[in-house]
Structure 1
Amino acid sequence: MVISVNGEKGLVLVNIRDIHFMQCDKRQKNVLFHTADEIFNFNGTLSYWIEVLNQQGYRFKLCDRTAAVNMDNITHLDPVFSRACFEQEVGPHTKWCTMSRAKYKAIMDELIIKNPQIQLELN
């Protein structure tokens, strides 16, 4: 599934599998979709997009009041800072999504059951 964005670059197709996490932008009253290299703005609420995408078979989970992660894209979890990474190699330019402590624990438990190879980063 792809969704299109009409923004500065015109009409852009975004593959849902490429979205690592979504985040509320309360100033603009929309949702930011984060991929590895770009951020896209979409109209609607975070809860609307979680429901719509999950009904299509994707696994987005609320990770705090203002963000949701794509459970299938998480590669590393950081228990010290309660955050998730979506890249194979963690480095100084790694994009992280922060989580509440309670949501981090629930997401970690679910991921470890489904994917025992998930890496816990101890920074």
Structure 2
Amino acid sequence: MYELKELSVTKERDGKSGGTNIPIKGITHLEADSYMVIVHTAKEHYYLAGTMVYWVNTLNASGYKFRNADRSNIINVENIRSVDMNFKLAYFENDVNKQSKKCTFVKDRLDAIIEEFPQIADKCSSGAIFKTFLKFSR
């Protein structure tokens, strides 16, 4: 296993302004965009060449916890701060507002993430209810 701490990304899709390195721990989620991957941090977004499958495999093999959230989003589980269970949205800050970054989920993948990482249930808008639901739905 390689010790991967940063990703080399570009600020623009075409890369004309050059590249920069960003810390992987600061990535909130990855989003599929035709032939590119959009890398989201709490305040910015960047572009990365390659496929979603390649990057989720590489990041997870390097010790990170990125999981499929829906067809076009891969979420960094360690950066989830709250989850809106009604709209299936993860947020990456505690004080959510209109400008907050968010990532969408599909129900079965959200359920799988909560089962794998039970501490996420505490961050859900209805965490206590959802924990009870999981206990009885097994």
Match among 124, 127, 131 for residue 120 of structure 1: 124
SS in 2 for 1:118: helix
Q: CA separation in 1, counterparts of 2:94 and 2:17? A: 28
2:1 paired with 1:11: no
After TM superposition, give the deviation of residue 120 of structure 1 in Å.
Answer: 1.7
Q: CA separation in 2, counterparts of 1:118 and 1:8? A: 43
Point out the structure with the larger helix share. 2
Coordinate RMSD, CA, aligned? 1.7
Encode CA deviations 1:56-112: one digit per residue, 9 max, x unaligned: 10000011111110010001011101111111211121111001111111122333x
TM-score normalised over the length of structure 2: 0.78
Contact 2:80 2:90 (C-alpha < 8 Å) held by counterparts: yes
- Unaligned 5+ segments in structure 2 are 127-138
Q: CA separation in 1, counterparts of 2:120 and 2:44? A: 29
- Equivalent residues in 2 for 1:21-100 (5 A)? 21-26=29-34, 29-100=35-106
Of structures 1 and 2, the larger Rg is shown by 2
Contact 1:77 1:108 (C-alpha < 8 Å) held by counterparts: no
After TM superposition, give the deviation of residue 8 of structure 1 in Å.
Answer: 4.7
TM-score normalised over the length of structure 1: 0.87
After TM superposition, give the deviation of residue 117 of structure 1 in Å.
Answer: 7.4
- Unaligned 5+ segments in structure 1 are none
